[in-house]
Structure 1
């Protein structure tokens, strides 16, 4: 017994093995301590196993349900089987989504969609525009007040300029007045001041509107637009701006078939647009050919990879909650370990861990929720996973696992990729929600029970609190046993002293 003080040398007068006797007397106390230590060990093992499951489940979530992952399976392009090639990516490129039809078109881009833009590069009295140029040197006299009106009806805050302001302060005041809808800038390379909207297209309009103060100090729109005339602003074509207003423009694109026959004339307000599930990006003026090829291999491989990783988790959880426990193997006490080799201890503990989470309620609930999410009818699409080749495992011992019929899944991708995408996304979104509910955040059911290492939940969780209580219980039992041990040694010491005196008296009488 480790708590017994080994420096004592009792029993000289009585001839008794005091250490052994006291150890036997404290056997029941030591047994209580060992029992709590064994329970604490089980709690620790349970927590370790839970954390393994949390790591695996969260790993599945991060790999397949995080939008930043290359293996993300919920996006519109995750089941895309088309690859679109451009003969000139400087002119136009395109990308497809699931269900998109193949294309073979020629594009002639005559112009890109432009934002409304005002530019100035004037010089007065030989002084060219610089960032630190004062506005009075460029022609401003006194003070002007104006707003910048944007095509969708939004106005900027009132901008007030004085002749002592510079180009830099003008830029700063414009940029802070529209919450990013209008951007002013100056190029040291070209010596040009630019004011433009962040929206392209012919419906995007920017206008300078003069304002003045009434007698109460309130700003009133004047219906004029001369506040920035001193800058000599021009539009993107170099034409003087009339009434302080400038408009954007749409793109002009001619679409032809492979033989050169015109299919459509496009006029788009943006340089990125979607037609028939294909997103086109216009990059420059010129001609280019876009053609597509279909390859389902990557999509099938991605689905196989997901199913394999998903099944590993379901197999692990199912094995954990169904594993039988052997009552012949319990956590070893310190005394038992002293008589065993490390290999023997390892083999014993492996058997002692078996079945420790059998029928665990949270793990059981997780499996049921996952199965319901995976196999409940998906009415939005009118069909379920089984119609596209994804079914529950035929082996009864593979509860919650799924199988992929590659031939059926491939056919579904080729013939109805859009519907296949809708079904998988709808079902897997529900699976994602279940995983998040159990392991996706600090409030997850698994996380609240076992915690995650190196996080705020590592200490504040059910198992850690249980282990802490057991540790306090062990300390309390050891303190009581130590006190009892000291009392027993004191009593035996008194007995030894008494016997020693009696032995001395007997020896005296004998003489």
Structure 2
């Protein structure tokens, strides 16, 4: 702690502060430059974040389903519906569903006096090996064995049965207890008929047995008939007729053919007609969403070049921030950050490459070679920075250029956009990705990414260099401040000595009188 001015009466502390403020000016400039570099780094990284988000949409736009979306109408929507993949062939299909696939269900109906206590120990009466038998895809019997100990409860048994696997095998069954209706349900977790053994009693999908004093299934759980119990609902396949071909079956309530998945919800009233057509509206919507997202990216890049640059608003120092309100700081920094990337060649080159790529011809064997043939072009206003627009002019058939192209030849539209070949037949989206990849690389070289160290990118090296200069300058400032204090302390000592001498002389003079 330093106290000055005791002898001289001079405000030493304030004088040194003012002297040091002048000495600190170069340091303030270095800290402002460091802040500016950090702002530029963050602004560049924001661009890369936007490009990464947009790139995800480009990947979706390369898929055939974007251009060849199908829609399916059904004459009996409550009974049969369908979804079509991009490979689905347009046309009308006939389906007559005669039987739905069901999962086998066994029900144990208990008497009121035999209500189950799931937490009670089973004791020795059910101690032993118990088996549930189901069947694999090829109709082969699979036995799932589990042990019951005298200390086990029904909760323990149910958890074992309901586990995804027993002894490393998939059980395909689940068990539950309806306490309100006092019933136990043992059911298959899949629909369909898997047991194809003609000599199996009742041809059940699920059978069970117990090697214990009492049969757990026929006794405690009341599945009458135990091993050969008649299920409350049999596991059967769906049965249907397709385009006049009878006696077709499916283990599930769906059937996939030629890229179309037909879903059975109920038996039909005679045959249902399902019509598959190209969903042009869905394709137009996806392309429109892509254009909008692309324009957002162009706007973001273009905005960095159109921002005003306020050279009289450098980043605030810590001392300046202390003297301002939060609102004043916000308004100041809004201007200080404006135009950070103005004139940056990385951004201007990105805008040029993105815009010019849309004009280039795509040499391919499809029906379209230019984007304009789809009714899509860049706007006429050069201030837009190359934003895209879709021509909404309606032709004599009541369709736009884009709608007509998608309806007549969606595969060629996809080729124009996403042909992955190199050279003149490279698709427009691939060319766009190439341009964006170059931009991302340039930005990472200049501004790095979240995981980068300061030594790995240009702005980081500048920040590191400034950190070193700031540290060295702060050491120098400390030395200068110490020197000022030594000088003022020496002055105070001299003044104090002179004051003492003056007092002594006055004392001698008074004695002489």
Distance change (3 Å), C-alpha of 1:93 and 1:204: farther
**Residue 300 of structure 1, aligned match among 269, 273, 284:** 284
Aligned to 1:183: 173
Deviations, residues 11-40 of structure 1 (Å, cap 9, x unaligned): 959xx9988986786577413311221112
Q: Distance in 1 between matches of 2:431 and 2:158?
A: 49
Q: What is the SS of the residue equivalent to 1:151?
A: coil
- My pick for the range that moved more, 30-39 or 142-151, is 142-151
Q: What is the SS of the residue equivalent to 1:286?
A: coil
Q: What is the SS of the residue equivalent to 1:285?
A: coil
Deviations, residues 80-110 of structure 1 (Å, cap 9, x unaligned): 6655444544312223445756655664321
Unaligned runs of 5+ in 1: 67-71, 213-227, 239-246, 256-261
Q: Say whether 1:159 aligns with 2:155.
A: no
After TM superposition, give the deviation of residue 284 of structure 1 in Å.
Answer: 1.4
Q: Distance in 1 between matches of 2:368 and 2:117?
A: 66
After TM superposition, give the deviation of residue 42 of structure 1 in Å.
Answer: 0.3
Map residues 378-393 of structure 1 onto 2, 5 A cutoff.
Answer: 386=371, 388=374
Deviations, residues 340-363 of structure 1 (Å, cap 9, x unaligned): 998899579736742547547699
Q: What is the SS of the residue equivalent to 1:108?
A: strand
Distance change (3 Å), C-alpha of 1:129 and 1:348: closer
Q: What is the SS of the residue equivalent to 2:284?
A: helix
Distance change (3 Å), C-alpha of 1:83 and 1:53: same
Q: Distance in 2 between matches of 1:154 and 1:40?
A: 73
Q: Say whether 1:93 aligns with 2:85.
A: no
Q: What is the SS of the residue equivalent to 1:251?
A: strand
**Residue 484 of structure 1, aligned match among 476, 480, 483:** 480
Q: Distance in 1 between matches of 2:330 and 2:189?
A: 73
Distance change (3 Å), C-alpha of 1:479 and 1:438: same
Aligned to 2:202: none
After TM superposition, give the deviation of residue 233 of structure 1 in Å.
Answer: 2.9
Q: Distance in 2 between matches of 1:433 and 1:191?
A: 65
Q: Say whether 1:234 aligns with 2:230.
A: yes
Deviations, residues 414-446 of structure 1 (Å, cap 9, x unaligned): 12335545765777699789989999xxxx959
After TM superposition, give the deviation of residue 45 of structure 1 in Å.
Answer: 1.9
Distance change (3 Å), C-alpha of 1:267 and 1:383: farther
Aligned to 2:263: 281
Distance change (3 Å), C-alpha of 1:336 and 1:192: closer
Aligned to 1:216: none
Report how many residues are paired: 456
Q: Distance in 2 between matches of 1:393 and 1:385?
A: 16
Distance change (3 Å), C-alpha of 1:285 and 1:348: closer
Map residues 221-260 of structure 1 onto 2, 5 A cutoff.
Answer: 230-234=226-230, 248-253=236-241, 255=243
Q: Distance in 1 between matches of 2:169 and 2:358?
A: 43
**Residue 335 of structure 2, aligned match among 340, 350, 362:** 350
Q: Say whether 1:449 aligns with 2:448.
A: yes
Deviations, residues 122-162 of structure 1 (Å, cap 9, x unaligned): 889x989997897998xx99756676441248885751456
Normalising by structure 1, we get a TM-score of 0.60
Q: Is the 8 A contact 2:305 2:339 kept in 1?
A: no
Q: Distance in 2 between matches of 1:186 and 1:305?
A: 48
After TM superposition, give the deviation of residue 234 of structure 1 in Å.
Answer: 3.4
Aligned to 1:272: 254
- My pick for the range that moved more, 158-167 or 365-374, is 365-374
Q: Distance in 2 between matches of 1:99 and 1:293?
A: 12
Q: Distance in 2 between matches of 1:105 and 1:237?
A: 31
Q: Distance in 2 between matches of 1:437 and 1:114?
A: 56
**Residue 136 of structure 2, aligned match among 141, 150, 170:** 150
Deviations, residues 293-350 of structure 1 (Å, cap 9, x unaligned): 8764454244223212222213433664798978787546678999999889957973
After TM superposition, give the deviation of residue 272 of structure 1 in Å.
Answer: 2.3
Q: Distance in 2 between matches of 1:359 and 1:109?
A: 66
Aligned to 1:112: 100
RMSD value, Cα = 6.3
**Residue 39 of structure 1, aligned match among 28, 33, 38:** 33
Distance change (3 Å), C-alpha of 1:357 and 1:200: farther
Aligned to 2:296: 312
- My pick for the range that moved more, 304-313 or 497-506, is 497-506
- Between Structure 1 and Structure 2, the one with more helix by share is 2
**Residue 409 of structure 2, aligned match among 416, 419, 437:** 416
Aligned to 1:194: 186
Q: Is the 8 A contact 2:45 2:447 kept in 1?
A: no
Q: Is the 8 A contact 1:38 1:331 kept in 2?
A: yes
Q: Distance in 2 between matches of 1:300 and 1:122?
A: 57
Q: Distance in 2 between matches of 1:19 and 1:171?
A: 83
After TM superposition, give the deviation of residue 43 of structure 1 in Å.
Answer: 2.6
Q: Distance in 2 between matches of 1:25 and 1:123?
A: 97
Distance change (3 Å), C-alpha of 1:356 and 1:483: farther
Distance change (3 Å), C-alpha of 1:263 and 1:312: same
Q: Is the 8 A contact 2:84 2:260 kept in 1?
A: yes
Q: Distance in 1 between matches of 2:278 and 2:239?
A: 29
Q: Is the 8 A contact 2:366 2:416 kept in 1?
A: yes
